[in-house]
Amino acid sequence: LQLTRELEENNRAVKVLYAELDEKAEHLRRSDQAKSRFLSNMSHEFRTPLSSIRALAKLLLSRSDGELSDEQEKQVRYILQGTVALNEMVDDLLDLAKIEAGKVDVRAERFLVADMFSTLRGLLRPLLGSSAVALTFHEPHAGLALLSDQGKLSQILRNFISNAIKYTEQGEIAVRAALVPGKGMMRISVTDTGLGIAAADHAFIFEEFSQVEHRLQTRVKGTGLGLPLCRKLADLLGGSVGMDSVPGAGSVFWVSVPLNYAAQGGDAPAPPHS
């Protein structure tokens, strides 16, 4: 009898504990939703004033006709550069919030890796400016195609490559696509000969916001949102991201995606990351 009573009491205690856990989980879910809503609203609110500042700074530059001193013109250019950087940050925030809210669809289509590479080459070469760093694209074979969301995959690669450009002072940035044997996956890697990243930071680099605190390179300013976004985008594509790096020697960032998005994820799109 004593035992039964103890068991009943234990049962009651366990039930109370479960109810408390449920309540806490619900609370966490709500805070998470509130955070996503806040990020999304805030990003929207930032956009309008930012576009005005940008448009006005451009107008000032185009109309100045020698009215601005060299120093003033330089300052207006700084304003313009600042708005471009802020715009990128707001776009990343908005994309992250959308993915978290499950509001992003995967649009799988068949495309040639070579075509994606040539578009990326055209977009990113200008970022090198007068730098002596070489940006090369290597393709496995001409007809290699993927069934995936080209826009999202390109967004990941744009992030990897523009980071490589930011943090590489000399040498080469090489983009390579290779089949992962027996896995039905393709891995696209971006290797640079840049500053590299300390081993202690590798575990944080794809984490939202935390990277900013772990950043080693204070020379180049960034938001620390690009790589977390890459990870979420790769999740959506049914793939993954990874990196390796040796400080002072360089880094490699890669993304692996299924060759055939539908075959990997079934008929349903990959679940949104929450």
Binding positions for ligand ADP, rule: CB under 6 A? 159, 163-164, 167, 192, 194-195, 197, 205, 211, 215-217, 222-227, 251
Q: Confirm if 186 and 259 have CB atoms less than 8 A apart.
A: yes
Nearest Cα to Cα of residue 190 among 143, 232, 242, 226:
242
Measured over the CA atoms of residue 150, residue 155, residue 159 and residue 162, the dihedral's sign is: positive
Q: How far is the CB of 224 from ligand ADP (least distance, A)?
A: 5
| Three-point CA angle 30, 36, 39, nearest 5° | 140
Three-state DSSP class for 67?
coil
Q: Which residues contact 116 (CB under 8 A, 6 or more apart)?
A: 150, 153, 154, 157
Q: Shortest approach of ligand ADP to residue 227 CB, angstroms?
A: 3
The C-alpha R_g of the chain, in whole angstroms, comes to 24
Least distance from ligand ADP to the Cβ atom of residue 95, Å: 13
CB of 163 to ligand ADP, least distance (A): 3
The answer to whether the beta carbons of residues 109 and 71 sit under 8 Å apart is: no
| Residue found by looking up tokens 């993927």 in the block | 146
Nearest distance, CB of residue 198 and ligand ADP, angstroms: 10
Pick between residue 135 and residue 146 the one whose CB is nearest to ligand ADP.
Answer: 135
Of 21, 94, 97, which Cα lies nearest the Cα of 273? 97
Quote the CA–CA distance of 255 and 263 in Å, as a whole number: 18
Coil, helix or strand at residue 177: strand
Q: How far is the CB of 31 from ligand ADP (least distance, A)?
A: 24
